[in-house]
């Protein structure tokens, strides 16, 4: 039977070619916009496979709307807090994500935010363009040194470890908070595993790299921000709801911490209005993996996974391999 798949957003061509070669019908959302819930529920009906974005909620309601034929879902993202994996598994539907291929790009962006905050790059750019610059000054736009400062990594998975590796060039001591120890990170970067509160107290730069779960929602709130140094910078490139945005906006405006760099938000694309008013926060539109090379690799991985799972094979990026054990 010819396979019929739906792609919820146009992805780079290498991924679409793989799908066209591997499936009979490939329909792609023609608009450069997130589908509304109603559009998504209609679009998935009768499909064998679905290639979705991190913004699409994949739950029992959607699986009911898709119907009996749906055998595989590939998420075009490494994070999959948008997906009810246990519901997919219960229904025997394979599910994959895109680990590894976006690690370096996302680590680069975390560092770009860290540097932008430390040296007030975005604020200084706005000032240089404003016509208010009257010349060099010994006290203008003073930021913070980065070299030798303490970097705290909350979540030492692939991306957190890649951020820590980059710190070696800046001779920064690295602390990390993680459920399990990472001996390799300790050996290669001299990183020390500490409880979250200790990491927040001791770090000059804190970068968040944990997945969003019920346990990590609002991991960083008013209490945690109050533990940080008044000169500290917080960077978040993981998922917005890990940080209580209202508490962060207060902490940034009353000097509890010095600055923040955010690529993700609690209710994307909405950004908390109080953050929009502040100069000491750098705001990016969720571009952690947004390089041409990385997005193409993500497209290839997601498409290859979808085709493989539809053939009954279990690709390495499959999150619920148990689905394929009894096929
Ligand atoms: C990811 O891969 O999880 C990125 O945040 C894109 O959604």
Query: Can you say whether residue 212 is alpha, beta or left, with left for phi > 0 and alpha for psi between -120 and 50 degrees?
Result: beta
Task: For ligand 1, say whether the CB of 102 is within 6 Å of any of its atoms.
Answer: yes
Which pLDDT tens digit goes with each residue over 154-196? 999 999 999 999 999 999 999 999 999 999 999 999 999 999 9
The first and second tokens of residue 310, run together, are 């539809």
Tell me whether residue 146 is exposed, middle or buried, using C-beta atoms within 10 angstroms of its C-beta: 0 to 12, 13 to 18, 19 or more.
buried
The stretch 285-313 carries a mean pLDDT of 98
Active site annotation includes 286: yes
Here the contacts of 220-227 (C-beta below 8 Å, separation 24 or greater) are 220/154, 220/244, 220/247, 220/248, 221/247, 222/247, 222/250, 222/251, 224/196, 224/197, 224/200, 225/251, 225/256, 225/257, 226/251, 226/256, 227/197, 227/200, 227/201
Where helices occur in 97-244 by DSSP H, the ranges are 103-118, 121-129, 158-167, 183-189, 196-202, 222-227
Sheet with 174-177: list strands edge to edge: 192-193, 174-177, 151-154, 205-208, 233-236, 259-262, 281-283
Active site annotation includes 222: no
Question: Is residue 269 reached through a cis peptide bond, with omega within 30 degrees of 0 on the bond before it?
Answer: yes
Active-site option among 193, 202, 239, 295: 239
**In this prediction, what percent of the chain has a pLDDT beyond 70?**
99
Q: Name beta bridge partners: 207.
A: 153, 235
> How many other CB atoms are there within 10 angstroms of residue 51's CB atom?
28
Which pLDDT tens digit goes with each residue over 43-99? 999 999 999 999 999 999 999 999 999 999 999 999 999 999 999 999 999 999 999
The stretch 273-300 carries a mean pLDDT of 98
- Whose alpha carbon is nearest atom 6 of ligand 1? 77
| Sequence-distant (≥ 6) Cβ neighbours of residue 316 within 8 angstroms | none
- Whose alpha carbon is nearest atom 1 of ligand 1? 77
**Which residues in the chain belong to E strands, given as ranges?**
4-7, 25-28, 49-52, 72-75, 94-96, 151-154, 174-177, 192-193, 205-208, 233-236, 259-262, 281-283
What is the C-alpha to C-alpha distance for residues 193 and 196, in angstroms, rounded to an integer?
9
pLDDT of residue 27: 98
Please say whether the beta carbons of 45 and 71 come within 8 A. Answer: no
Q: Which atom in ligand 1 lies closest to the alpha carbon of residue 238?
A: 5
The stretch 285-311 carries a mean pLDDT of 98
pLDDT of residue 136: 98
Where residue 153 falls among pLDDT bands split at 50, 70, 90? Answer: very high
pLDDT of residue 1: 66
Where residue 7 falls among pLDDT bands split at 50, 70, 90? Answer: very high
What is the CA angle 18-23-24, rounded to 5? 135
Pocket test for ligand 1, best of 101, 289, 299 (most atoms within 8 A of CB): 289
Which pLDDT tens digit goes with each residue over 199-257? 999 999 999 999 999 999 999 999 999 999 999 999 999 999 999 999 999 999 999 99
- Whose alpha carbon is nearest atom 2 of ligand 1? 77
The stretch 266-284 carries a mean pLDDT of 98
The model's pTM is 0.97
Please say whether the beta carbons of 117 and 233 come within 8 A. Answer: yes
For strands 259-262 and 281-283, give the pairing: parallel
């Amino acid at each position: 039977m010819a396979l019929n798949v739906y792609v919820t957003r146009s992805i780079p061509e290498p991924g679409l070619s793989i799908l066209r070669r591997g499936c009979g019908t490939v329909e792609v959302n023609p608009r450069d916009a997130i589908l509304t819930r109603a559009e998504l529920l209609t679009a998935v009906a009768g499909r064998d496979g679905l290639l979705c974005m991190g913004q699409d909620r994949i739950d029992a309601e959607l699986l009911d709307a898709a119907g009996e034929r749906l055998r595989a879902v590939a998420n075009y993202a490494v994070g999959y807090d948008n997906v009810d994996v246990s519901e997919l598994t219960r229904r025997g539907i394979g599910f994959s994500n895109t680990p590894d291929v976006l690690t370096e790009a996302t680590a680069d962006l975390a560092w770009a935010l860290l540097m932008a905050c430390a040296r007030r790059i975005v604020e200084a750019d706005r000032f240089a363009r404003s016509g208010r610059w009257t010349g060099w000054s010994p006290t203008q736009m003073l930021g913070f040194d980065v070299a030798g400062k303490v970097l705290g990594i909350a979540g030492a998975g692939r991306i957190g470890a890649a951020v820590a590796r980059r710190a070696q060039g800046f001779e920064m001591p690295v602390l990390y908070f993680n459920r399990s120890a990472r001996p390799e990170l300790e050996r290669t970067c001299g990183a020390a595993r500490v409880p979250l509160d200790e990491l927040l107290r001791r770090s000059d730069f804190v970068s968040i790299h944990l997945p969003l779960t019920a346990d990590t929602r609002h991991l960083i709130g008013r209490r945690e921000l109050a533990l940080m140094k008044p000169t500290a910078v917080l960077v978040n490139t993981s998922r917005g709801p890990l940080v209580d945005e209202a508490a962060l906006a207060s902490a940034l405006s009353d000097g509890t911490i010095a600055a923040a760099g955010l690529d993700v938000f609690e209710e994307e694309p909405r950004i908390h209005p109080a953050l929009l008013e502040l100069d000491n926060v750098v705001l990016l539109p969720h571009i952690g993996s947004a390089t041409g090379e990385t997005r193409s690799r993500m497209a290839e991985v997601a498409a290859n996974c979808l085709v493989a799972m539809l053939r009954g094979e279990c690709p390495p990026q499959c999150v619920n391999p148990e689905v394929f054990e009894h096929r």
